[in-house]
Structure 1
């Protein structure tokens, strides 16, 4: 058995952020990252720049290769096979049989793409890793018929990239206006309508099975995606973009508390005192010792960064940083979308939406609580508006709805 110090399992942004935070907080002990794909890299480009070929593998690394020896961080390019918690220290067994002991261990195992659970669903590709993106890109040529099941963030981003590569794209989703809870109904409609404007077919439907298509015609598709209404969509390639499931296999086998994610405190602490967890695979227990349902898993990039930073503090016995309103972004069809806070009115009875309209289209939307406080904001190509909204939310300011709606008001003045 080798090692000690702190071992981080996972080479995504949560694991890397934890490593970075540990060193920035002055931790000088042994530090290892177990990442089967080698150097940690960023996932968001996999459905955008990396898929398009405008960013290569080196470009999407979270830090240059030189950063790790400079900060005395060992990268172990192996897969974690088992976690033992019955000794004095956690012990990690790798797939090559190597055992690593740790004073403290961080699970940042992320999520696994949800498979399409219908007959024939195993033929659908998924997108979570660099290898997945490489495999999909190899199949996208002008005229390729790509059917994407799921029109959320990843599905929409892949549709945009694939269409620009010349593929004939069909988006299938059971919801008429995807992303409405994330960005509000008005912006969601605007964003979804952009697909048709760029030649992408959108279908409201639910897949029931995937079959091989009859090969009578010379241009016959490879598959047929059969929908619940009896129709079928021809496809040469099918992609399932229906979200992720938390990768909790190590945690469950080791006996940690798991409930649709590894259960942690605000500092990433699990049910074992020497094991912490962060990223897409965790659910935070409600603060203040409240008994009830843990918070929902957060599956956005910034949430993973924050989670890793909080766990780093927790492993050092320090208080986690204080974070402001949550934030995420997405890119499609040449526009940049951002949102902060929550835009889901179901979470706040009595909430109302205020729109900022520019050039006849909704450019930003604000969700106001019944008492006037700002709950959330979403915007298209309006980063300063979202930045101002985050400050308003964090400071508890009650904004003037008329100024929020007025596109002539400088976003930098909204907090005054």
Structure 2
């Protein structure tokens, strides 16, 4: 295993040519931030799907038909021309860091001073008999959403395996489209690490309230008989569905990094500036895993803001700029007409404080023994979460009694 490079050499600089492999949010954020910071070197993005587009709407607005392909774009062709970001449609087969080049599947070699791996992840398949059936759907790319949308019509029986963010969002959208939905997950409730048990229970109960059948169980096999699928659970229960969607996370795409000899361990290992074990290569987004200056190997982060922030970190490191100030991790999700946000950690050592409205939990906080806020999650409380993030980032001590009091405006505590 190669250690992450010390990177005591000079940054590539504002005139270096940069080739970004992957046109998701992370890869696009590198390009956009480079130009924002005054980078004058060539910037190219190569991706099988061409222009960069946003993926969170795939399970929501796009699946429901509220936005189209143009509405998904992070940047259109005119923006790319204006900012001199070249978009290449193709698949990278090999990267050669020593030579400073990437080779496409058709044999074309692309040279660059800096290579940025923004390769994302692949939807994880179930390692059970039938988990690899070509009719078992996933939702990772625009084409996946297009395929799912063709089978969702009133009365379609859809079984979703995995009730995390993607599964819950898709269940909500499918129900709105008239599908008969069964949502299967081994945890009851899911999302406890993200939002705490109280909010997780409230959010999970919304599925039943909206007419979705919720099943706690572990699938053992999936079989197909003509147009129908049968899911056998470990409990012996059998679920019949016209369509099956699996949403159980992703596997980071590290093959290019591994073949190039970069350090990989559950993701492409990077330092806190997104630099890999080769001085010429950076990695951002879902595929990257950070090792801190103290040697701690952090968990990979798969949320939207990490993709954007890691892109910004890489861009500033490439031009030799100062690192953006770190902020507490933040995520959001939508289901059944409510908006969920979370910041920081609800699982860090400490005490949980619940804020209620009319006896219903609306916010959860995690506070350590010294009175510092570690994490917060809320249902339809975006402004409060924004204030909580400031409290976390600024290391402001808080009174748990005030956090629990719905009459206390968090904005005042953040000052």
Shorter-chain TM-score above 0.5: yes
SS at match of 2:403: helix
Conservation of the 8 A alpha-carbon contact between 1:337 and 1:380: yes
The answer to which of 314-323 and 222-231 deviates more is 314-323
1:308 aligns with 2:311: yes
State yes or no: 1:338 paired with 2:341. yes
Cα displacement string for residues 77-114 of structure 1 (whole angstroms, at most 9, x for unaligned residues): 11111111343xx2111122211011011000001100
The within-5 A match list for 1:362-373 is: 362-373=361-372
* Alignment correspondent of 2:297: 294
Alpha-carbon distance between aligned partners in 1 of 2:401 and 2:387, rounded to the nearest angstrom: 15
User: 1:359 and 1:14 mapped to 2: Cα distance?
Assistant: 41
2: CA distance between counterparts of 1:401 and 1:37? Answer: 48
Of 155, 160, 182, the residue aligned with 1:170 is 182
Shift of the alpha carbon at 1:271? 0.7
Partner SS, residue 132 of structure 1: helix
Alpha-carbon contact 2:346-2:365 (below 8 Å) kept: yes
1:371-409 alpha-carbon deviations (Å, 9 max, x no partner): 211000000001111011001101111112122111122
Structure 1: runs of 5+ lacking an equivalent: 216-220
Deviates more, 1:7-16 or 1:364-373: 364-373
1:5-404 to 2 correspondence within 5 Å? 5-87=17-99, 90-123=100-133, 124-213=136-225, 222-287=228-293, 290-291=294-295, 293-344=296-347, 347-348=348-349, 351-404=350-403
Structure-1 residue corresponding to 2:410: 411
Report if the CA contact (8 A) 1:267-1:319 is conserved: no
Report Cα offsets for 1:111-142 as digits up to 9, x if no partner: 11001111011232111000000000101011
Bigger mean CA offset, 116-125 vs 275-284: 116-125
Q: Secondary structure at the match of 1:356?
A: strand
The SS at the match of 1:59 is helix
Separation of aligned partners in 1, 2:89 and 2:61: 25
> Would you say the 8 A contact 1:144–1:168 is kept in 2?
yes
Shift of 1:59: 0.5
2:97/2:115 contact within 8 Å kept: no
Structure 2, unpaired ranges of 5+: 1-15
CA distance in 1, matches of 2:327, 2:97: 34
Partners of 1:319 and 1:177 lie apart in 2 by: 42
Relative contact order (C-alpha < 8 Å, sep 6+): which is higher? 2
- 8 Å CA contact retained: 1:151, 1:171: yes
Per the normalisation by structure 1, the TM-score is 0.94
Q: Secondary structure at the match of 1:38?
A: coil
Report the 3-state secondary structure (helix = DSSP H, G, I; strand = E; otherwise coil) of the residue aligned with 2:30: helix
SS for the counterpart of 1:66 is helix
- The 1-side partners of 2:121 and 2:408 are apart by 41
| Post-superposition offset of 1:319 | 2.9
3-state SS of the aligned residue for 1:324?
coil
Q: Which runs of 4+ in 1 moved over 3 A?
A: none
Query: Per-residue CA shift, 1:308-329, capped at 9, x if unaligned?
Result: 1101112222332112111000
Q: Is the 8 A contact 2:159 2:183 kept in 1?
A: yes
Distance in 1, matches of 2:276 and 2:234, equals 42
Cα distance in structure 1, aligned partners of 2:322 and 2:298: 20
RMSD: 1.2
- Name the SS for the 1:122 alignment partner: coil
Distance 1:96 1:317 in 2: 34
Number of the residue aligned with 2:9: none
3-state SS of the aligned residue for 2:257? helix
- Contact kept, 8 Å, 1:210 with 1:226, in 2: the verdict is yes
